Amino acid sequence: MKHIIVGTAGHIDHGKTTLIRALTGRSTDRLAEEKERGISIELGFTYFDLPSGKRAGIVDVPGHERFIKNMLAGVMGMDIVLLVVAADEGVMPQTSEHLAILDILGIDKGFVVLTKSDLVEEEWLELVKEDVRENMEGTFLENAPIIPVSSTKGTGMKEVTKLIDEIALEIE
C-alpha cells in the first residue's frame, strides 16, 4: 500500500481537528488540556484509506500563534495540505501565517476547505470564498479548489476525500 502525508493548516478554532475527525472517525487531540480547552497544542496523527487504495497519513497542526513551532514541525514532509478556513470568520492572521510558512517550505499541493459552512447564509459563503481567492493570489493555492463543508453534519466530506485521492494519484 502506498502512503501520502496530508496535513492541516489554518487559524485557531477554524475546525481543523473536527474536519479530521469527520474524515477519519478519530480525534487527533490526545492531551487532557487539549480536550478541556478545545484547542490543539501538540501535533495530532491519524490515517485513513483512500478510494484508490493509498493510505493517507494525517498530521493535524495547532492553529494558535503560541504553538507555531509545533505547526512548523508538522508541515515538514506534507505531500498535500488542507488549508482550513472557517466560513463564519474567513481568513484570519494564522491563516495567512500558515500559508506563508507552507509557501516558504515549498509545499505545493493542496486546497482550501471552508469549514462551518452550515453556519452561514449562501451569500456570506460566496463573500468568504472571494476573500479566500484574493488571499491565495500569488501562492501555490492561487487556483486551488475551495470546498465548503460541515464537519459536524458530514456535508462535503466525499468531495474532500475525492480531491485528496486525485491529488495523491498525481504524486506517484
Catalytic residue among 17, 18, 28, 115: 17
Residue 68 has pLDDT above 60, yes or no: no
Q: What is the mean pLDDT of residues 88-100?
A: 90
Output phi, psi for 32, to 5 deg.
Answer: -60, -40
**pTM for the full model?**
0.86
Indicate if 17 belongs to the active site. yes
Indicate if 11 belongs to the active site. no
Domains of the chain, each with CATH number or no CATH: 3-171 (3.40.50.300)
- Give per-residue burial for 64-103: e unless 16+ CB within 10 Å, then b: beebbeebeebbeebbbbbbbbbbbbbbbebbebbbebbe
Q: What is the pLDDT of residue 167?
A: 96
Indicate if 103 belongs to the active site. no
Cell numbers describing residue 108: 505545493
Indicate if 3 belongs to the active site. no
Catalytic residue among 16, 98, 116, 129: 16
pLDDT digits (tens, 9 = 90+) for 7-30: 888 887 778 888 988 988 766 555
- 168 pLDDT band, cuts 50/70/90, is very high
